[in-house]
């Protein structure tokens, strides 16, 4: 299981440039917004979703200011009706808990069966994400995160949320 320390080591191994900020534990975008860290506009939110049959799982990452219309999203990614996945599924598939969800969590997905859905607007941007723990935020090039996920073997879908 990857933790914050091993994520930093992995990013350093690949020589990815990132900024890390330690802070008190936060569980929502609103709590994170209340902190005094820079680049808040780059922070993303992550939703762990599944279809209504609980056969397909998705990690959805969008800019923190965007809302996600589940009906529209399910149509755009050709999925059955979507809902939030259970905390048990989150623990089993990504080895994470609510409030700690990050696109890096799929690096713990041994079955590589979680599909990562990114908002197209993140392309060529720097994003702010948790490095497996909600007591830190890292700012890193979106392309670097996408490369890590694809190298791990999880499918990635770029979706227009506008």
CATH code of the domain in which 141 resides = 3.90.960.10
47 pairs with which residues across the strands?
60
Find the domain containing 11 and state its range. 4-159
For residue range 12-63, list pLDDT tens digits in order: 999 999 999 999 999 888 888 888 888 989 999 999 999 999 999 999 999 9
Note the pLDDT of residue 87: 96
**162: pLDDT strictly greater than 80:** no
Please write down the long-range contacts of 23-30, taking CB distance under 8 Å and 24 or more positions apart. Answer: 23/135, 23/136, 23/137, 24/135, 25/99, 25/134, 25/135, 26/99, 26/134, 27/98, 27/99, 27/134, 28/99, 29/64
pLDDT at 30: 84
Tens-digit pLDDT profile for residues 59-106: 999 999 899 999 999 999 999 999 999 999 999 999 999 889 999 999
pLDDT at residue 9, rounded to an integer: 97
Task: Report the number of distinct structural domains present in the chain.
Answer: 1
pLDDT in tens, 108-161: 999 999 999 999 999 999 999 999 999 999 999 999 999 999 999 999 999 998
pTM, 2 dp: 0.93
The residue assigned the tokens 């702010």 is 128
Note whether 117 and 157 are within 8 A (CB).
yes
pLDDT at position 96, please?
95
């Amino acid at each position: 299981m990857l933790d914050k320390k091993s994520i930093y080591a992995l990013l350093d191994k690949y020589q990815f440039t990132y900024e890390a900020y330690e802070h008190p534990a936060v569980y929502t975008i609103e709590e994170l917004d209340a902190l005094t860290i820079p680049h808040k506009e780059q922070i993303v939110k992550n939703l762990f979703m599944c279809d209504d049959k609980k056969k397909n799982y998705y990690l959805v990452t969008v800019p923190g200011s965007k809302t996600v219309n589940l009906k529209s999203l399910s149509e755009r990614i050709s999925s059955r009706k979507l809902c939030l996945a259970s905390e048990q599924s989150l623990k089993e598939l990504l080895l994470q808990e609510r409030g700690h969800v990050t696109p890096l969590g799929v690096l713990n997905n041994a079955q590589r069966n979680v599909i990562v859905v990114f908002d197209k607007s993140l392309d060529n941007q720097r994003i702010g994400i948790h490095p497996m723990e909600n007591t830190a935020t890292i700012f890193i090039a979106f392309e670097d995160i996408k490369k890590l996920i694809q190298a791990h073997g999880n499918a990635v879908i770029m979706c227009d949320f506008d």
